Amino acid sequence: MNVLVVGGAGYIGSHMVKRLVEEGHAVWVLDNHSTGGRVALPFGTLVKGDLADAPLLDQLFQAHAFQAVLHFAAHSLVGESVTSPSKYYQNNVVNTLNLLDAMCRHQVSNLIFSSTAAVFGSPNYTPIDEQHPTAPINPYGASKWIVERILQDYANAYGLNSVALRYFNACGADPDVQLGEWHEPETHLIPLVLQTALGKRDAITVFGRDYPTPDGTCIRDYIHVEDLCTAHALALDHLVSGKLSGACAFNLGNGSGFSVQQVVAAAQKVVGQDGYTITIQEGERRAGDPAVLVADARLAQQVLGWRSQYAELQTIIEHAWAWEKKRWLVG
């Protein structure tokens, strides 16, 4: 089928484009290259452009008769969203409305939306299921929550069917080492740790060792990017086949978290096999960091038939390490 992937040159989007092409779909990628790395996307047909460009959207939809859209394009830095909320609401909400309206004009009724655990804010309980109250505490999370609400209204008014997938901590890299994580700036723990081992950063900072967790450091639910792609593929199949309709939302995580200390220790084990070491420095707690964020993904398992294939922390880090070595040492 013909599929449009918005933000398909970014981290998760590029992995999904590869998956779709391998499954035999015809894929067009719309990306403005505002974030992410400088790796040429070797899959799909790339169109450089922006969701703010409504005439371009009409041109794409008229030319290619898309049966579905996957929407990954968003600004996603929590701290920046607090200091520049206008940027986040304009791009993540207003530009998404441009996409939804184009879909409605061209009678494309299937959308997979990249959402986030940030819609929940500070958790009342963990693991976090879909019944947990949504109460985002920053503009980034709020922008995603607003779109989820818009999707409910568009389903009711226009028959637009959607699945919002709420990621917890996306991580890892393509096992074939063709793609991987490359953010500018980088904020994710695993690449920061591995880049420290490679000497690209002086040290990795552990922000607080006095949390109410077994080793005192924060616990997060790390989910391999390939497992996220599997969830997207299943959600797409359920939408196109009519098994799902309306506006649906699923939490995606492994259901068991790893602490910062566990991540650093596992990374040291992996990089140590190549003779590298990781320098650690201690920092104070960061404001707003919950002690534990872990997903309850049973609904995705029950409805979509989704299962994680790469749940082991060492496997996640091994895939990420292979990518970081290729990026920095091979080029």
pLDDT of residue 331 exceeding 80? no
Q: What is the pLDDT of residues 290-327, one digit of tens each?
A: 899 999 999 999 999 999 999 999 999 999 999 999 99
**Residue 37 pLDDT > 60:** no
Residue 275, domain member (yes or no):
yes
Q: Is residue 177 part of a domain?
A: no
- From the list 11, 89, 140, 154, the catalytic residue is 140
Tokens at 8, concatenated: 């398909």
- What CA–CA distance (Å, rounded) separates 18 from 229? 9
Identify whether residues 199 and 231 lie together within a single domain. no
* Residue 178 belongs to a domain: no
Specify whether 98 is located in the same domain as 240. Answer: yes
Is 167 an active-site residue? Answer: no
Question: With pLDDT > 90 as the criterion, what percentage of the chain qualifies?
Answer: 92
Question: What token pair was written down for 292?
Answer: 């534990």
Q: What is the pTM of this model?
A: 0.96
The CATH number assigned to the domain holding 154 equals: 3.40.50.720
pLDDT at position 183 is 85
In a domain, 324, yes or no: yes
pLDDT at position 79 = 87
Say if CB 107 and CB 42 are below 8 A apart: no
Q: How many domains does the chain have?
A: 2
The answer on 245 and 207 residing in a single domain is no
Element (H, E) at 19: helix 11-22
Is 217 strand, coil or helix?
coil
Q: Are residues 321 and 237 located together in one domain of the fold?
A: no
Answer for the pair 236, 178: CB distance below 8 angstroms, yes or no: no
What pairing do the DSSP bridges indicate for beta strands 68-71 and 222-224?
unpaired
pLDDT digits (tens, 9 = 90+) for 109-148: 999 999 999 999 999 999 999 999 999 999 999 999 999 9
Specify whether 241 is located in the same domain as 284: no
| Full domain range(s) for residue 267 | 189-220+255-295+309-330
In a domain, 124, yes or no: yes
Phi, psi (rounded to 5 degrees) for 281: -130, 150
Question: What are the tens digits of pLDDT across the range 135-183?
Answer: 999 999 999 999 999 999 999 999 999 999 999 999 999 999 999 999 8
Rounded Cα–Cα distance for residues 72 and 85 (Å)? 19
Distance (Å, whole) CA 212 – CA 69: 42
Question: Is the confidence at residue 269, as pLDDT, over 70?
Answer: yes
